[in-house]
C-alpha cells in the first residue's frame, strides 16, 4: 500500500521527533500473567532500558502472516509507564495510533511498563480474534509488548516469561530456562522472534513427539476444552509423522531449531491457521479428531502452515518483509506466498497419507469448480486479489463470487499445478516442482530461523534453472487475464477433466454432513443449516429469481424448509415441468419465489481422461518410505 503525499510528510515529521540516543544493549524483560485468561484478560509487565529524553514506544501494527494492519490496538488497556516509582504521562501519536510518546527524566535508565490485553473479541478473524476459553489460551506476544521506536525490532532483545493458571501446561518454540512456581522463564529472543513464537497453554494439554528419528525435533502440542478431544486417531498421528519426513525430502532443508505444531481444539476460539517460523497457530473445532468429517476437512491445515516455514517465513516476498511492524506490507506476490503453499500443502497432505488420492482429487475438483463459478473474475484479475489482500481478508462471504476475495489461495493452487505439470511435460518427466522447491527453499541447506526475501524475477530465474521456458510470460498471463473460467491447464495436463454428476464427491459429502446445502452448481445457492442463504451466485437461476444473501427459505414447494426437502426439490426438478416454489423471508417480509430450474443436483468431480498419463497420480507419490503402521 503506497502512502499518500500527506501521509508521507506526516511520517517524516514523526521520524524527526525520535530521540537520537545510543541503542541500549540491555534486553527488555516481559512477563505475561495469563492466570486471568479464562475470564478473557492478559496482564503484561515490562522493564524497558532507556536513556533520558523524548521516547516513542511502538505496538505491532502489521502482523506477519496476516498480511494486514491487524494489530489489536483497540483491546490494549491499562497502559501505565513508571520511572523510579513515579508515573509518567504518555501521549498517543495523533497519526500513528500504534505509537505512544513519553518523556524520560534525567537519570532514568529503565521504564516499568504495564498493560492489559482484553481478550474479548468474537470467535472470528485471526490472532486478534477469540483466543481463550475456560481451559486454554493462545498467547500472541504482539498483543501485549511495547518497544522503543529508536531500537530496530529485529535487533531488540527480549527476555520473556509467562505465568499460567494452576495445573496448566504449555507448548512453544521458545526455549525454557527455568521455572518458579507457575512462572516459566525463556531465553532471550529478538522482538521479531518473540512475535513469531506464540505460546499455547491449557488445562487439558498433550504433546506428541513426531518422527523421532529426525533432527531438529518436532512436536504436536494440543490444548482442548475437554480431555476427550485430545484423542488423536492412530492414522492421523501416522500422517503427521509422515508429514515431517515428506517436508524434509521436498524442501531439502529445515530452517528452524525445533518445530512445534500448536493446535487448539475448541469451539470457543477463532478457527484459522497462522504460520510462524518454528511453530504454527492452528485452531480447529473441538471434535475434530472425534468426527471423521471434520477430520478429513481439517487434514490439510497443518501441512499448509508447516510449508510456510519454508515458503513464507524463510523465503518471503520482499514486499512482505516489514522491518518494524509499522511499515505497510505489499502483497503483490501472495500468489507465491499463499498460492504455492496451498498447492504444496495439499500435495503433502496426500503424500503423508492424511488424505487418500481420491480425497485430494475431490478437493481439487471443488477448488476448480468454485473458481469456474466465479463471475467476479471477468472484472478483477488474480493479481489484484493479491495486491488488495489487506482489504479482502475481512470482506465476508456475501456476494463474494462477484467481489472476489483472497483468491490467490485457490487459484494460486491451480496456477502452481499448471507450473508443475508444465515442467514435467517439458522435461519428459525428469524434472518437477520438487526440483524447484529443493533449489528455492533449500537455499543454504539447514539453517536457524531467518528470512531470505525474493522478487518476481527471482521466481522466474529459479524456474528457468529447473526447466528453461518463458516463465515470465507464462505467469504474467495467468495473473492478469480477466476470463470467465478458471485455469484448467494443470488438471488437463495431469490427465483429468472437470465434470459434474448428481452425486457429491467425498469432500463435499463431508462438508454437507456438517450442515447446510450446497446448491451452487444447480440453483446457485449456498444454504445454511437453518435455511439462511449464505451466498447467491451472480447470473444463476437463484439470482434471476431475485434472491440475495441473508434471506431465509422457510418453505419448499409448500412444505416447511429442511435440508432434506431442499435436496429432494433440486433432484426432482429434472422431471418436473413446473418451477420450484419457495417462501422466503427477508428482514421480516415474506414473498413467494419461483425458480425455473430443471437440471437436478450437480456436483464437481475429476474424471480420468483415457490414453493420457496420470500425472496427478505421479505428483502424489510419497518421496519417502513410510513406516508400517
Residue 323 confidence (pLDDT): 85
* Least confident interval from 122-131, 308-317, 384-393, 584-593: 122-131
For the cut 80, the answer to whether the pLDDT of residue 10 exceeds it is no
CB-based contact 329:387 (threshold 8 Å): no
pLDDT mean over 457-471: 98
Instruction: Supply the pLDDT for residue 392.
Output: 94
Contact present, 578 and 604 (Cβ < 8 Å): no
Q: Alpha-carbon distance 524 to 539, whole Å? A: 8
> Which residues neighbour 404 within 8 Å (Cβ) at sequence distance 6 or greater?
374, 376, 377, 380, 384, 385, 392
Say yes or no to pLDDT of 529 above 60: yes
pLDDT at 168: 98
- Tell me how far apart the alpha carbons of residues 433 and 250 are, in angstroms, rounded to a whole number: 9
Give the tens place of pLDDT for each residue, 604-613: 999 999 999 9
SS3 call for 280 = strand
CA distances 522 to 370, 497, 536, 543, 596, Å, are 12, 19, 11, 12, 11
Task: Kindly tell me the burial class for residue 426, based on how many C-beta atoms sit within 10 Å of its own C-beta (0-12, 13-18, 19 or more).
Answer: middle
Separation of first and last alpha carbons in the chain:
50
Question: Which pLDDT value is given to residue 1?
Answer: 37
Q: What angle do CA 10, 11, 12 make, to 5 degrees?
A: 90
CB atoms within 10 A of CB 425: 13
DSSP, collapsed to helix, strand or coil, labels residue 241 as helix
Query: Is pLDDT at 548 greater than 70 in this prediction?
Result: yes
Tally Cβ neighbours within 10 Å of residue 558. Answer: 8
Domain locations along the chain: 19-232+256-307, 327-495, 506-603
| Local confidence band at 394 (pLDDT 50, 70, 90 cut-offs) | confident
pLDDT in tens, 27-72: 999 999 999 999 999 999 999 999 999 999 999 999 999 999 999 9
* Core vs surface per residue 48-57: b (16+ CB within 10 A) or e: bbbbeeebbb
Q: Quote the CA–CA distance of 338 and 315 in Å, as a whole number.
A: 12
Strands of the sheet containing 533-536, edge to edge, are 517-519, 525-527, 533-536
Assess whether pLDDT exceeds 50 at residue 497: yes
Query: Would you call the peptide bond into 517 cis, given omega within 30 degrees of 0 as the criterion?
Result: no
pLDDT for residue 19: 36
Q: How does pLDDT run across 92-105, given as a tens digit for each residue?
A: 999 999 999 999 99
**What percent of the chain is modeled with pLDDT above 70?**
96
Cα distances (angstroms) measured from residue 170 to each of 164, 209, 263, 488: 9, 14, 11, 45
CA–CA dist 346, 300 (Å, integer)? 6
| CATH code of the region 19-232+256-307 | 2.60.40.3650
In three-state secondary structure terms, 322 is: coil
What's the CATH number for 327-495?
Answer: 1.10.390.10
Report CA Rg, the chain.
26
Q: Which residue has the cell 544493549?
A: 25
> Please, what is the average pLDDT of the chain?
94
pLDDT band at 629 (very low <50, low <70, confident <90, very high): low
pLDDT of residue 78: 98
Q: Judging by beta carbons within 10 Å of its beta carbon (0-12, 13-18, 19+), is residue 66 exposed, middle or buried?
A: buried
For range 6-34, the mean pLDDT: 56
Reported as a single tens digit per residue, the pLDDT across 248-294 is: 999 999 999 999 999 999 999 999 999 999 999 999 999 999 999 99
3-state secondary structure of 36: coil
pLDDT of 456 strictly over 50: yes
Q: Residue 430: pLDDT above 50?
A: yes
| Predicted local confidence at residue 305, as pLDDT | 98
Q: Tell me how crowded residue 314 is: count the other CB atoms within 10 A of its CB.
A: 24
Quick check: 343 and 413 in contact, CB under 8 A? yes
Cell 490496538, located at residue? 73
DSSP bridge pairs for 608: 496
Please choose, from the candidates 32, 30, 291, the residue with its C-alpha nearest in 3D space to the C-alpha of residue 165.
32
- Mean pLDDT score, 499-511: 97
Q: What is the second-level CATH architecture of the domain 506-603?
A: Roll (2.30)
pLDDT of 67 reads: 95
Which of 600, 586, 620, 418 minimizes the C-alpha distance to 521? 600
Q: For residue 23, name the pLDDT band (cuts at 50, 70, 90).
A: very low
Whole-Å CA distances, 61 to 384, 410, 505, 588: 23, 27, 42, 41
**For 333-355, what is the mean pLDDT?**
98
Amino acid at each position: 500500500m503506497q502512502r499518500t503525499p500527506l501521509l508521507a510528510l506526516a511520517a517524516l515529521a514523526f521520524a524527526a521527533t525520535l530521540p537520537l540516543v545510543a541503542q541500549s544493549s540491555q534486553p527488555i524483560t516481559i512477563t505475561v500473567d495469563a492466570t486471568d485468561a479464562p475470564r478473557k484478560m492478559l496482564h503484561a509487565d515490562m522493564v524497558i532500558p532507556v536513556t533520558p529524553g523524548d521516547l516513542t514506544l511502538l505496538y505491532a501494527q502489521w502482523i506477519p502472516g496476516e498480511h494486514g494492519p491487524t494489530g489489536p490496538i483497540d483491546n490494549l488497556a491499562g497502559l501505565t509507564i513508571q520511572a523510579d516509582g513515579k508515573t509518567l504521562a504518555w501521549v498517543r501519536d495523533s497519526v500513528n495510533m500504534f505509537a505512544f510518546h513519553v518523556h524520560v527524566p534525567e537519570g532514568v535508565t529503565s521504564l516499568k511498563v504495564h498493560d492489559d490485553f482484553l481478550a474479548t473479541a468474537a470467535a472470528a478473524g485471526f490472532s486478534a480474534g477469540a483466543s481463550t476459553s475456560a481451559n486454554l489460551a493462545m498467547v500472541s506476544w504482539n498483543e501485549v509488548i511495547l518497544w522503543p521506536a529508536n531500537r530496530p525490532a529485529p535487533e531488540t532483545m527480549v527476555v520473556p516469561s509467562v505465568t499460567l493458571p494452576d495445573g496448566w501446561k504449555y507448548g512453544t518454540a521458545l526455549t525454557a530456562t527455568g521455572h518458579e512456581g507457575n512462572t516459566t522463564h525463556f531465553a532471550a529472543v529478538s522482538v521479531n522472534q518473540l512475535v513469531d513464537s506464540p505460546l499455547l497453554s491449557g488445562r487439558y494439554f498433550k504433546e506428541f513427539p513426531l518422527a523421532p528419528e529426525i533432527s531438529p525435533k518436532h512436536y504436536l502440542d494440543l490444548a482442548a476444552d475437554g480431555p476427550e478431544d485430545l484423542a488423536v486417531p492412530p492414522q492421523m498421528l501416522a500422517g503427521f509423522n509422515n508429514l515431517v519426513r515428506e517436508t524434509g525430502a521436498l524442501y531439502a532443508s529445515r530452517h528452524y531449531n525445533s518445530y512445534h505444531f500448536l493446535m487448539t481444539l475448541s469451539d470457543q476460539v477463532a478457527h484459522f491457521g497462522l504460520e510462524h517460523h518454528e511453530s504454527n497457530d492452528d485452531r480447529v473445532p473441538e471434535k475434530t479428531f472425534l468426527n471423521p468429517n471434520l477430520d478429513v476437512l481439517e487434514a490439510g491445515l497443518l501441512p499448509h502452515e508447516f510449508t510456510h516455514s519454508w515458503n513464507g517465513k524463510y523465503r518471503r516476498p520482499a514486499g512482505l518483509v516489514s522491518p518494524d511492524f509499522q511499515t505497510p506490507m505489499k502483497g503483490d506476490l501472495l500468489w507465491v506466498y499463499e498460492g504455492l503453499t496451498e498447492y504444496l500443502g495439499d500435495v503433502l497432505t496426500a503424500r503423508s497419507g492424511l488424505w487418500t488420492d481420491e480425497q485430494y482429487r475431490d478437493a481439487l475438483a471443488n477448488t476448480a469448480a468454485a473458481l469456474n463459478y466465479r463471475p467476479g473474475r471477468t472484472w478483477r484479475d488474480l493479481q489484484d486479489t493479491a495486491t488488495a489482500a489487506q482489504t479482502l481478508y475481512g470482506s465476508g462471504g456475501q456476494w463474494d463470487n462477484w467481489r472476489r476475495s483472497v483468491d490467490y489461495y485457490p487459484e494460486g493452487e491451480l496456477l502452481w499445478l499448471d507450473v508443475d505439470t508444465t515442467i514435467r511435460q517439458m522435461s519428459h518427466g525428469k524434472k518437477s516442482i520438487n526440483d524447484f522447491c529443493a533449489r528455492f527453499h533449500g537455499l543454504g541447506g539447514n539453517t536457524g530461523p531467518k528470512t531470505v526475501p525474493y522478487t518476481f524475477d527471482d521466481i522466474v530465474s529459479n524456474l528457468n534453472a529447473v526447466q528453461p521456458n518463458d516463465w515470465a510470460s507464462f505467469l504474467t498471463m495467468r495473473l492478469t487475464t480477466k476470463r470467465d473460467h478458471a485455469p484448467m491447464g494443470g488438471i488437463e495436463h495431469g490427465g483429468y477433466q472437470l465434470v459434474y454428476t448428481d452425486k457429491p464427491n467425498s469432500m463435499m459429502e463431508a462438508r454437507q454432513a456438517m450442515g447446510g446445502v450446497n446448491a451452487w452448481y444447480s440453483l446457485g445457492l449456498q444454504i445454511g443449516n437453518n435455511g439462511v442463504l449464505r451466498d447467491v451466485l451472480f447470473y444463476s437461476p437463484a439470482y434471476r429469481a431475485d434472491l440475495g444473501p441473508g434471506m431465509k427459505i422457510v418453505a419448499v414447494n409448500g412444505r416447511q424448509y429442511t435440508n432434506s426437502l431442499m435436496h429432494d426439490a433440486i433432484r426432482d426438478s429434472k422431471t418436473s415441468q413446473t418451477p420450484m416454489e419457495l417462501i422466503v423471508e427477508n428482514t421480516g417480509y415474506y414473498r413467494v419465489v419461483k425458480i425455473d430450474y430443471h437440471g437436478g443436483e450437480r456436483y464437481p468431480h475429476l474424471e480420468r481422461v483415457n490414453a493420457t498419463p496420470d500425472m496427478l497420480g505421479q505428483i502424489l507419490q510419497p518421496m519417502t518410505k513410510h513406516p508400517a503402521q
